Amino acid sequence: MKSMSRIVYHLARLALALVFIYAGAVKTQDVVTFAGHVAAYQILPYAMNYLVASTLPYVEFLAGILLLLNARVRPALMVIGGMTLVFMVALTSVLLRDLGIDCGCFDPGGGENVTAGAALLRDVGLMGLVVLTWWLRTAGHAGCGTRNEKSQNGPES
């Protein structure tokens, strides 16, 4: 049972890592187009759209890298969980305002055309993975990466 939990933990961690590394990497290639997607949400003043588009992909990318490396897992999960929560609120507001925009979650220039509803469902799934990974990590099912359970002040989280 313990080894099964460990496998599930690593699969969930790697899935999240790949999703966020990909999401971050493709957006850094075309920041201006991504700013257009952020602006389509009609939430931020126009200059802030560029600020968010210039920084958010790097947060996604680095958080994903940490998950991939199995280092600082819980801080990375906290960041990813927080971002996913913000995305969910934004997508819900898009649905309530009936804006009918593309979510812009991944490749900004690729004509992805994922509706807000579908993106919200995907984010619910991602949030589920975040919670699962956090719980398995905290419960000590992460196998060799549980140094923090042995030492409260250890470097690993």
Partner 1 sequence: MNDLKRIGLEACVLIAFSALIGLTLNYQLVLDAFSGQLSAPQCQAELEENALISLPLPAMIGDVQQAIAFGGLIVDARSPELYTMGHIDGAVSLPMVEIDAVLPEFLEKIVRDRAIITYCSGFGCPDSFDLGVRLLEAGYLDVRVFEGGYPEWRDAGLPVTGESR
Return the closest-CA partner of residue 109 out of 47, 40, 37, 50.
37
Burial of 109 (0-12, 13-18, 19+ CB in 10 A): middle
Which residue number, 19 or 66, has a Cβ lying nearer to partner 1? 66
Kindly state the smallest distance separating residue 31's Cβ from partner 1, in Å.
6
Could you say whether residue 156 binds partner 1 (CB under 8 A)? no
Binding mask 64-83 for partner 1 (x = CB under 8 A): --x-----x-xxx-xx--x-
Q: Which stretch binds partner 1 (CB under 8 A): 2-10, 58-66, 89-97, 119-127?
A: 58-66
Could you say whether residue 61 binds partner 1 (CB under 8 A)? yes
- What is 52-95 written as a DSSP string? HHHHHHHHHHHHHHHHHHTSSHHHHHHHHHHHHHHHHHHHHHHH
Among residues 50, 107, 132, 146, the one that binds partner 1 under rule CB under 8 A:
50
